[in-house]
Amino acid sequence: METLLKKVLYTGVGLVTVATEKVQSTVKDLVENGKLSEEEGKKVVDDLITDLDSKKEEFEGRVSGIVNKIVNSVDLPSRSDFSTLKARIKELEAQLETNETAKSVKKVVRKAVAKKPTATK
């Protein structure tokens, strides 16, 4: 899921970059052909960049909101929940190993006691 969201975000950034480069190229051509003054061209590009920056923040906010909705609706464990569960599993495994070791020792002791030779008279 995280990979998909990163791809969406990177695609959006890529599209903005391509669009900005295309507008800059078009404005440069208009300035070179005398259809726009250099000042007007610079203003168009500056306005576009300012507008794109504000749209970028809006887009990131929307994506973040969507991600939060999805995570909350799916009821995924948080990173801290996951870490707590991992620690608890390790603790239980250690207890289980200790219990199994104790059982093995008891079996060995019982066998040793059972094989003890009886005294003959």
The residue ranges of every structural domain in the chain are 1-76, 77-116
- Identify the pLDDT of residue 117: 64
pTM of the model: 0.42
- Identify the pLDDT of residue 2: 63
Residue owning tokens 């404005």: 27
- Averaged pLDDT in 10-residue chunks for the chain of 121 residues: 72 79 84 84 84 81 82 81 94 92 83 69 56
- Number of residues assigned to the chain: 121
- Identify the pLDDT of residue 95: 93
- Identify the pLDDT of residue 121: 56
Element (H, E) at 100: helix 79-114
End-to-end CA distance of the chain: 80
